[in-house]
Amino acid sequence: MTTEEELPKSIIVHIDRFSLSKDLQLDAFQEFKELCLASGTEVCAEITGKIDRPSPTYFVKRGKLEEIKKLVIKNKTNLVIFNNDLSPSQERNLEKYLGARVLDRTALILDIFACRATSHVGKLQVELAQLTHLSTRLVRGWSHLERQKGGIGLRGPGETQLETDRRLIGHRIKNLKKRLEKAHNQKEVNRYSRKKGKNSVVALVGYTNAGKTTLFNYLTKNNLFVADMPFATLDSVTRKNNMPQLRNILFSDTVGFISNLPTQLVESFKATLDDLYSADLLLHVVDISDKDHRFKVNEVEKLLKDLNLSDKPIIRVNNKSDKLELSNLDNLSLNSHNQVWISSTTYDGLESLLKNINTCLNGTCLNQWVTLDAKLGWLRAELYSQEKVIDERISSEGLIELLLEIYKNDLIKLEQLEGFALINKNQTQEAI
């Protein structure tokens, strides 16, 4: 009979920096705690504090260091997690003094990514980020061995091992980059095929745990993993739209952003970010019920700007509106510029979202009379099947005349067909 495995115990440390105060504040400690729980640890003690200048040796001052050590001994834990980026020497000194393993914010996020990545490319990206992070911390594992001394024949085994590890890690990183480049080229072929098939791509972006995957599952009728935790999604997925109101659209669910995202992850996840570059439209999903949503919106917008994506058409999707007990979400969306208010769990306001997607991709919806030659009977049948025909009549010349409810871009494409013409072109009106 197997017993349930106990979660590793940890002490978490959150130190604020006075010099890093901002106009828009995030409840950074709560976000850090959620990250720790998502990594699969049991938090047995919490330590917070403020500091003006980090100690170059231990990051924290002596008094706080003693406080952490007492808690390590009291709780009999061997893991301490800092919500700060530590230098290799600080990490090594802390581990020696506390007698416990020390993780900083970057290592914590990398650990979560390693646990959650499921696709082949995702695993390669995570491994590349981990090795890049590890390459600066190799000395920790071999500090017990003799170090290099001056003079011939006095080179210690520790230095030899470090050099060996650095070379092996360097080879592995080079190999991973080659494999990721190959995967990147394959994705480029896939994107070319999609464009050739006249499919538009709509990518869902936003802060982690904003509800992107729940919305993605609704739009594509998929069943991807959903959980109320940071980084539940770690692999970019593209699926065909399943909404009858939308045509020729592919939706991409992407990895959520987070404040102070480690630079290794941004570099390693270029293949994932390529899905954003190839998108025709971005849906910026926001958890509007989150008290820190303004800060998180700014963080996402800043990242999009850094990635040169802010010029793409963007619809802001204010999700989880049901938690605010808002009513008439469609009216809210109607009165908001490039914003829609929805709940992806109760499905309220989603009609407004679909209309906005169509308008961004296809232009304004119009009511327009058109005339068709007899040879375009196939087009008449297609327009009826797409429910675009409002009325039909036969002209005195025996031509078919149709009143269409159609998007501007679609109408422009139809005008290229021989035998298709507009009636009263100057009197075209927007559909209500």
CATH number at residue 69: 3.40.50.11060
Determine phi and psi for 115, rounding to 5 degrees.
-75, -30
Q: What is the C-alpha to C-alpha distance for residues 134 and 140, in angstroms, rounded to an integer? A: 10
**Can you give the CATH number for the domain in which 398 is found?**
3.30.70.240
Q: Enumerate residues 6+ apart whose C-beta is below 8 A from 249.
A: 199, 200, 201, 202, 240, 241, 357, 361
**Which tokens belong to 97?**
């003094």
Instruction: Give percent of the chain above pLDDT 90.
Output: 12
Q: What is the mean pLDDT of residues 152-167?
A: 59
Amino acid at 416: Q
pLDDT in tens, 190-207: 766 666 667 788 999 989
Q: What is the C-alpha to C-alpha distance for residues 409 and 113, in angstroms, rounded to an integer? A: 41
Residues in the chain: 432
In a domain, 109, yes or no: no
pLDDT in tens, 310-329: 888 999 999 988 888 777 77
| Of 266 and 243, more confident | 243
Q: Give the per-residue pLDDT at 2.
A: 37
Q: What is the C-alpha to C-alpha distance for residues 51 and 21, in angstroms, rounded to an integer? A: 12
* 325 & 383 share domain: no
* Structural domain harbouring 137: 117-181
In a domain, 202, yes or no: yes
pTM strictly above 0.85? no
If phi > 0 it is left, if psi is from -120 to 50 it is alpha, else beta; for residue 287 that is beta
Which whole-number Å values give the CA distances from 309 to 191, 235, 306, 312, in the listed order? 17, 20, 8, 6
* 202 & 174 share domain: no
* 228 & 350 share domain: yes
Q: Give the per-residue pLDDT at 186.
A: 77
**Which tokens belong to 404?**
């269409």
In a domain, 108, yes or no: no
| Of 155 and 352, more confident | 352
* 312 & 393 share domain: no
| Of 67 and 256, more confident | 67
In this predicted structure, the answer to whether residue 116 has a pLDDT above a threshold of 70 is yes
* 321 & 219 share domain: yes
Domain boundary residue among 327, 362, 397?
Answer: 362
pLDDT in tens, 174-185: 898 888 888 777
**Which tokens belong to 265?**
């992850």
Q: What mean pLDDT, rounded, does the chain reach? A: 80
In this predicted structure, the answer to whether residue 144 has a pLDDT above a threshold of 60 is no
Q: What is the mean pLDDT of residues 247-267?
A: 79
* 289 & 165 share domain: no
* 299 & 283 share domain: yes
pLDDT in tens, 217-256: 999 988 877 777 777 776 778 888 888 888 788 898 888 8
* 208 & 349 share domain: yes
Question: Angle of helix 120-134 relative to helix 105-116, nearest 10 degrees?
Answer: 160
Q: What is the mean pLDDT of residues 161-188?
A: 80
Question: Contacts from 33-38 at CB under 8 Å and sequence distance 24+?
Answer: 34/209, 34/229, 34/230, 35/108, 35/109, 35/112, 35/230, 36/10, 36/12, 36/81, 36/108, 37/229, 38/112, 38/229, 38/230, 38/231
pLDDT in tens, 376-403: 889 999 899 888 899 999 888 878 899 9
Domain boundary residue among 347, 362, 377?
Answer: 362
| Of 189 and 29, more confident | 29
* 300 & 412 share domain: no
Give the chain's domain count: 4
Q: What is the C-alpha to C-alpha distance for residues 217 and 226, in angstroms, rounded to an integer? A: 9
**Can you give the CATH number for the domain in which 301 is found?**
3.40.50.300
